[in-house]
Chain A
């Protein structure tokens, strides 16, 4: 064990300040939970609707301009960037 690790171990043994009383913390939490709004759901449905509208609009534009609808497949490329957001995991921020 290095000297730094030994120092950390000794500092850990020196202790930390006492946390507040459990009942006090619980009372504060009850109050805050009552005041807090329920966690808002992420507007995934709204985002999907907007994306569909955009694709629909572009498809209509392509049709009006007599462009090949296969150009719409290019939209998949920028959408890759949103994948990490859509499948994100982990603790609540």
Chain B
């Protein structure tokens, strides 16, 4: 196994998982993962050891997803909708949410705004701290907190609608 294969072996599983959850499409996730690796290798000199390699790769990947999403939006291709309304009233969430399937959760996750989606995925699927997420997404820690808070609220609302709608 050469250096490149070792680098890929050490990083492709979390990177692929992140991209798959961001896009919901394994083929697209694979394409973006390859692009992330290419850009990382080409920009290796700019890597700052302050961040872990995985965090650095996540930040490149998040930029690629955002660029892809913007290109799709410019071309008029369907993109995730940013405007899921928040529930205005309390509901018996505990019972309702237990019925939600993994598919419903993933679908709701894919309909979140990109910033909230990436923050939630990095926090709950990759165990990154708020500081690491802030570093990855190049934003303040307070912004990460609010994105996660709002993302959870939107998810709750979307799942409630999913389960209660006929």
Residues of chain A having any CB pair with chain B under 8 Å? 2-5, 7-12, 14, 16-17, 19-20, 22-23, 25-26, 28-30, 32-33, 36, 38-39, 90-93
Size bin of chain B's contact surface? 35 or more
Contact B105 A11 (CB under 8 A): yes
Whole-angstrom distance between the Cβ of B152 and the nearest chain A Cβ:
5
What are 5 of the A-B contact pairs (CB < 8 Å)? Answer: A8-B124, A17-B20, A20-B12, A28-B34, A30-B4
Question: Bound state CA distance, A66 and B29, in angstroms?
Answer: 63
Contact B59 A25 (CB under 8 A): no
A-B contact count (CB 8 A): 97
- Select which of B8, B120, B138 is within 8 A of A22 by beta carbon: B8
Main secondary structure of the interface of B (DSSP, over half): helix
- Select which of A7, A25, A32 is within 8 A of B105 by beta carbon: A7
Closest to B13 in A: A19
Within 8 A of A (CB), among B1-55: 2, 4-5, 8-9, 12-13, 15-17, 20-21, 26, 30, 33-34, 37-43, 46
- In the bound complex, residues from chain A placing their C-beta under 8 Å from that of B155 are 4
